[in-house]
Amino acid sequence: MRIPDYKSEYRKLLTPEIVSYLAQIHEQKGKQSLLAESRKDALSELLEIAKIQSTEASNRIEGIVTTDDRLKKIVLNKTTPRGRSEREIAGYRDVLNTIHENYHYIPVRPGMLLQLHRDLYAFSSSSVGGSFKSADNVITETLPDGTKRIRFQPVPAWETPEAVDAICSGLQEALDDGGLDPLLLIPLFILDFLCIHPFHDGNGRMSRLLTLLLLYRAGYFVGRYVSLEKLIADSKETYYEALQESSDGWHEGENDSLPFVRYLLGIIVAAYREFDARAELLVTRRLSKPGRVREIIRGTTGRITKAQIMSQCLDISQKTVERALKELMDSDEIIKLGGGRYTSYTWNWERET
C-alpha cells in the first residue's frame, strides 16, 4: 500500500508559478475577511446563490440533474425531493449545510468521512451510504465511439480502510507541522482521496465537499460566496485532464501531483476574483437592480443567458431582468445572440470605442 509523504511532496510543489498562486490567494483572503466582517448582511445573498450553484454543479458533474425551479426549492428546503436524482441533491444540500455551519467540529478522520457519506445518501433507498466499498471499482472513460476503457484502477477494497486512515493521518501530521501552507496540502489530500476512490458511489461529490471543509478549516471561506463546484463543472475537461496527469504512476509513488495542485489553486484564485466582482456590485456600488443586470453582462467575457443572469440575482424577478435586457438592447449597450431557448447576450464593446 502507498504511504503518503505530504512533507516531501510539498517541497516539490514550490515552483514560481505555484508560489505566485499562493501569494494571490493570501492577499485575497485578507481582503475578503475584512469585507465579510463589515458587510455580513449584504453578502448573505451571495451565500444563498453559492449554495444553489454548488449543489447544482457538483451533482451535474455526475449526471444528477433536475429542473432549475425544483433545484432551488430543494436547496431552500421548500419541497420534498422526488426521484433518485432529487434525493441525492437533497443529501448534498444537507452535507453542504453541515460543513458551512459546523466545519470547526468536523475533523478529517475516516469515521467522519463515513458519516458525511452516510448523510449524502440520507434520502436515498440505496444502502451504499456510510460504508467503504466492499468490492473493487474502476474509473472508466467513455470514448467517442461509445466504448469504455479503464482510466484508473483505484486501491482495492480490502486496502481501502487502511489507505483512508493513512491519508487522514498523513494530512494531520503535515498540518501540525505549522510551517507548511494548507493550500498545498489540501489538493494533495484530495488527489489521494480520488485515487483511493473509497466508496462505491459519490467519490467525486465527496471530494468537492471535503475540499470546502478543508479550506474552511484553514480559514479560506471564498467557497461560501462563490461556488467552487460551479467553477470546476465549467472547466470539467481541464479538471479530468489534470487528475489523469497527476494520477499516472500514483500506486508506485511516481506520479506528478503538480498538474492537479495547479488546477485546484487556479480554481481558488478564480473564485476570489469572482467574489471581488460580485461584492463590488452588491456592496460598493449600491447599484439599482437594472444596473446590476447591466454590470453582470458587462463583466462577463463572451455571452451570458438570462438564466445565468438570474442565478446571480436571486432577489431580482424575471420580469425585472427581462425589462432591463430590453432597455439595454434599445440603448445598444448589449447585443442579443440567437433566439428561443438558445438566446444569450453579450456586451457591445464596439459602442465604447
From 160, 81, 154, select the one nearest 122 (Cα to Cα): 81
Q: Using CA atoms, how far apart are residues 156 and 84, in angstroms rounded to an integer?
A: 28
Boundaries of CATH 1.10.10.10 in the chain? 287-352
Flag residues of the chain having pLDDT under 70: 38, 40, 42, 282-286, 353
Residue type, 115: Q
Placement of cell 449600491 in the chain = 286
**pLDDT score, position 145:** 80
The predicted-structure confidence for 121-173, as pLDDT tens digits, reads as follows 999 988 899 999 999 999 887 777 878 888 899 999 999 999 999 999 999 99
**pLDDT score, position 90:** 97
**pLDDT score, position 286:** 65
The predicted-structure confidence for 30-78, as pLDDT tens digits, reads as follows 888 877 776 767 688 788 889 999 999 999 999 999 998 899 899 999 9
Q: Using CA atoms, how far apart are residues 207 and 205, in angstroms rounded to an integer?
A: 5
Boundaries of CATH 1.10.3290.10 in the chain? 6-282
| Secondary structure (DSSP) of 65-127 | ---HHHHHHHHTT-S---HHHHHHHHHHHHHHHHHHHHGGG----HHHHHHHHHHHTTT-S-S
Q: Using CA atoms, how far apart are residues 258 and 242, in angstroms rounded to an integer?
A: 9
Beta bridge partners of residue 50, listed in sequence order: none
Q: Using CA atoms, how far apart are residues 55 and 95, in angstroms rounded to an integer?
A: 10
**pLDDT score, position 93:** 96
Pick the CATH number of 6-282 from 1.10.3290.10, 3.40.640.10, 3.40.50.1820, 2.60.40.1930: 1.10.3290.10
Residue 77 falls in which region: left (phi positive, over 0), alpha (psi -120 to 50) or beta: left
Spell out the residues 6+ positions from residue 173 whose beta carbon is closer than 8 angstroms to its own. 6
**pLDDT score, position 353:** 60
- Cα 32 vs. chain centroid, distance in angstroms? 18
pTM of the entire predicted model: 0.85
CATH of the domain spanning 287-352: 1.10.10.10
Burial class (CB in 10 A: 0-12, 13-18, 19+), 98: middle
- Could you tell me what percentage of the chain is helix, strand and coil, using 3-state DSSP and rounding each to the nearest 5? 65, 5, 30
**pLDDT score, position 283:** 60
